[in-house]
Amino acid sequence: MALKSLQREYTDLMAHPVPFGTVAPTNDPLVWKAYLVGPEDSPYEGGQFELEMQFTGDYPARGPKLKFITSIFHANIARNGFICISLVSDWRPTDNMLTVMKAVSNLLAQPDRNNAYYGGNLTDQQYRDEAVRWTQTYAQKKCFN
């Protein structure tokens, strides 16, 4: 079931691209790469971020594990790249990869600093400056067009 669902979602995403990112398969059919553009008016603007999505054999009944490959300074993303996002813990079988990509893009635009792994002790300006510095240092590699 997982492979059929993933193939259908991949075909849909390729037929109807979204402006904020794309996905690509890997050699493992249960692992995808996602590439997201940093949202405008955020400290991530101008960056391109690579993520890994690991699916289980029972997808879409259970959601993927999400991990940033690109280093990023973000309140809700651990240093090892794993994402603290309610979509993952509150996964519904009706969610899909477009839902995931939108949720991660929204998280980049609006970090939840009240539930922060990092940066909770910084002022808003200090947080923004550090996130911009990391974006300029690590997220300038062109991942896609």
Compute the C-alpha angle 29/90/44, nearest 5°: 75
Reply yes or no on whether 84 is catalytic.
Answer: yes
Burial class for 90, CB neighbours closer than 10 Å (0-12, 13-18, 19+): exposed
Choose, from 30, 31, 84, 109, the residue flagged as catalytic: 84
The residues, any chain, with a CB within 8 Å of residue 71's CB and separated by 6 or more, are 81, 134, 137, 138, 139
Q: Crossing angle for the helix pair 2-15 and 97-109, nearest 10 degrees?
A: 60
Q: Computed from CA positions of residues 132, 136, 142, 145, in that sequence, does the dihedral angle turn out positive or negative? A: positive
Annotated active-site positions, please? 84
